[in-house]
Amino acid sequence: MQHTIGVIMGSDNDMEIMKEAVTTLREFGLKAEVIVSSAHRTPERTIEWARTARERGLKAIIVGAGAAAHLAGVVSAKTTLPVVGVPIDATSLGGLDALLSTVQMPGGVPVASMAIGKAGAKNAGIYVAMIIGTFDPEVAAKLDAFKKDMADKVIEKSRRIEQEWNV
């Protein structure tokens, strides 16, 4: 079964970061529905997209936003799907403003917040795959293989260092 995850960002400039989420989703066999919509410049479009996400078959939503970063909160306010925020460095504050806006949601409007930037976008894809893996054994198996591969790479790097430096 193929699952579709919504990926929304406030600006097309955010795609450089958010492509990490989309690529990661695809690695786990998940599809992405990707759009640009702003909480401030196109609020009606954003609200309608979030409100109808479940009807369109989405299983979760990843939101990338910088600066004031209200997008994840607006999306979460209009859906009952899991919402994962990716703060983006878009101002002179280095993304800290976006991080605080994403993580400081009021009670009843939850947003899981990842790290700022590309690592956060990648982790958002993995996190959503973990959610899907709770009920899809195929995705769970891909996650198991992913974790094993990460561990194997660390062990291999350690072996090289041990051989060179443990003399």
Per 3-state DSSP, the chain is made up of helix, strand and coil in percentages (nearest 5) of 50, 15, 30
- pTM assigned to the model: 0.95
Q: Is 47 exposed, middle or buried (0-12, 13-18, 19+ CB in 10 A)?
A: middle
12 annotated ligand-binding residue: no
pLDDT per residue of the chain (167 residues) written in tens, 0 to 9: 689 999 999 999 999 999 999 999 999 999 999 999 999 999 999 999 999 999 999 999 999 999 888 999 999 999 999 999 999 999 999 999 999 999 999 999 999 999 999 999 999 999 999 999 999 999 999 999 999 999 999 999 999 999 999 98
11 annotated ligand-binding residue: yes
- Number of domains into which the chain is organized: 1
Q: What is the predicted pLDDT for the residue at 167?
A: 80
Q: Residue 14: which CATH number?
A: 3.40.50.1970
Q: Is 121 exposed, middle or buried (0-12, 13-18, 19+ CB in 10 A)?
A: buried
Residue with tokens 């956060």: 120
Q: What is the predicted pLDDT for the residue at 6?
A: 98
41 annotated ligand-binding residue: yes
**Owning domain of residue 68:** 4-165
Q: What is the predicted pLDDT for the residue at 100?
A: 94
